[in-house]
């Protein structure tokens, strides 16, 4: 069975008078339309004490320019470098900004925190920004101002910046292979994707999977959700050496395996 994006939720609804105190046909068939904010920004932090505050300043400055209603959900993943103390002081110095700070007692990993932040948030759309302040204000503005123009926003870098040969070869080959396997034409599966927050909660592929964003994106594209690819400049690359490139390759290969298994399972008649 094939779906067409938001039509996945199309249904006839009947409610008893008692149930109408808690539900409406709109909330049952249009789960995206009852959000008080336009955007939830999840900021991941693990031992980012030297950059986490500048990351928040960058996000706030970008949001002032695009003028959207938003919140920031920060998950400190059991940092040991004083990140939490700096964050706690920062949010009390900015009482006018919608910020939620959660400090994990144990390290849970990015995939788990990504899903948790989606459940904590209340924005219609949801995106991840790493706490290392890797994207300048101009880049965030280019990306975030497109919120609402499609179900999924997919940024990709068009700047001729210096990347390691390893990163170029490995990430490029992996991206091309995923496109070949899925039939999609996505320029970058690993950027700062923006999703409908409810979709992250509904279709997140799992809290222990590497390459979870790639798997999530492919699932949603297969379901017919619309996407817009946004060219951006000056995205600073995090992976700059052979070892990190290989780690990224293994993560991507795990994602590719998950996609293959999912596609095979969908074609098996039980």
Q: Tell me the CA end-to-end span of the chain in Å, nearest whole number.
A: 15
Q: Identify whether the C-beta of residue 76 lies closer than 8 Å to the C-beta of residue 163.
A: no
Task: Write out the chain's pLDDT in tens, 270 residues.
Answer: 566 899 999 999 999 999 999 999 988 999 998 899 999 999 999 999 999 999 999 999 999 999 999 999 999 999 999 999 999 999 999 999 999 999 999 999 999 999 999 999 999 999 999 999 989 999 999 999 999 999 999 999 887 554 555 666 777 788 888 898 888 999 998 888 999 999 999 999 876 666 889 889 999 999 999 999 999 875 554 444 444 444 555 666 666 676 666 666 666 654
What's the angle, vertex CA 132, arms to CA 117 and CA 130, rounded to 5? 25
Class of 7-162+187-241 in CATH: alpha beta
Reference 239, options 153, 179, 174, 145; nearest CA is 174
- Per-domain residue ranges of the chain: 7-162+187-241
Task: Round to whole Å and give the CA distance between 190 and 251.
Answer: 11
* Burial tier of 2 (Cβ tally within 10 Å: 0-12, 13-18, 19+): exposed
Q: How many residues does the chain have?
A: 270
Structure token pair of residue 199: 């979709």
């Amino acid at each position: 069975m094939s779906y067409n994006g938001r039509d996945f939720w199309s249904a006839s609804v009947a409610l008893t008078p008692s149930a109408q105190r808690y539900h409406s046909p709109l909330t049952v068939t249009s789960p995206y339309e009852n959000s008080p904010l336009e955007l939830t920004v999840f900021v991941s932090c693990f031992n980012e004490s030297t950059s986490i505050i500048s990351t928040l300043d960058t996000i706030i400055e970008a949001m002032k320019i695009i003028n959207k209603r938003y919140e920031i959900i920060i998950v400190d993943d059991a940092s040991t470098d004083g990140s939490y103390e700096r964050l706690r002081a920062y949010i009390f110095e900015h009482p006018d900004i919608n910020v939620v700070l959660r400090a994990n007692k144990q390290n849970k990993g990015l995939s788990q925190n990504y899903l948790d932040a989606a459940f904590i948030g209340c924005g219609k759309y949801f995106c991840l920004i790493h706490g290392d302040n890797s994207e300048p204000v101009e880049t965030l503005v280019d990306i975030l101002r497109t919120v609402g123009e499609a179900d999924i926003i997919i940024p990709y870098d068009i700047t001729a910046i210096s990347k390691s040969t390893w990163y170029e070869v490995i990430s490029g080959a992996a991206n091309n292979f995923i496109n070949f396997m899925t039939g999609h034409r996505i320029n970058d599966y690993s950027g700062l994707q923006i999703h409908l927050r409810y979709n992250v909660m509904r279709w997140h592929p799992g809290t222990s999977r590497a390459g979870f964003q790639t798997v999530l994106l492919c699932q949603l594209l297969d379901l017919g959700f619309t996407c817009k690819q946004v060219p951006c400049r000056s995205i600073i690359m995090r992976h700059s050496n052979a070892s990190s490139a290989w780690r990224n390759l293994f993560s991507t290969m795990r994602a590719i395996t998950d996609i293959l298994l999912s596609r095979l399972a969908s074609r098996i008649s039980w």
